[in-house]
Amino acid sequence: MLRMVQLALVLGLVSMTLGGVARAADPLTLEQTLAASASTPAQHQALAAFYAGKAEESKKEAANHRAMGLAYSGRKDMANMREHCDKLASLQDDIAKQYAALAEMEQAAAK
């Protein structure tokens, strides 16, 4: 029994350590670094393409949430789920607009 507890503790420590390493290489940190250091037209163009891609991803998420909302249509016991999905879709639309605006700004900076 003691061996199992020791093994569980070791596995827990290893997973916590690896989790910390994974968070240290978070893509958002890389995105922030690239945005802060972009100085050439090519770098701004790359960021514009990245943000345009993020805008498209958010549009797809919005469409997915709308489709999920439709799946709840007509179910009185799940009416609040339709509202939930519609709200998430609206938020994703807003996020897509923000990423598209960032893409336009980076495109302008590339000129």
Q: CB-based contacts of 46: which residues, under 8 Å, 6+ apart?
A: 34, 38
Instruction: pLDDT band for 74, please (50, 70, 90 cuts).
Output: confident
Q: Decide: pTM greater than 0.75.
A: no
Asked if residue 4 has pLDDT above 60, the reply is no
Question: Would you tell me how many other CB atoms lie within 10 Å of the CB of residue 93?
Answer: 17
- With cut-offs at 50, 70 and 90, classify the pLDDT of residue 5: very low
Write down the domain spans for the chain.
1-26, 38-109
pLDDT by residue (tens digit) across 80-90?
899 999 999 99
pLDDT of 17 over the 50 cut: no
Across residues 66-74, what is the average pLDDT? 90
Quick one: average pLDDT of 16-35?
65
In this prediction, residue 9 carries a pLDDT of 46
- The pLDDT mean for the chain works out to 82
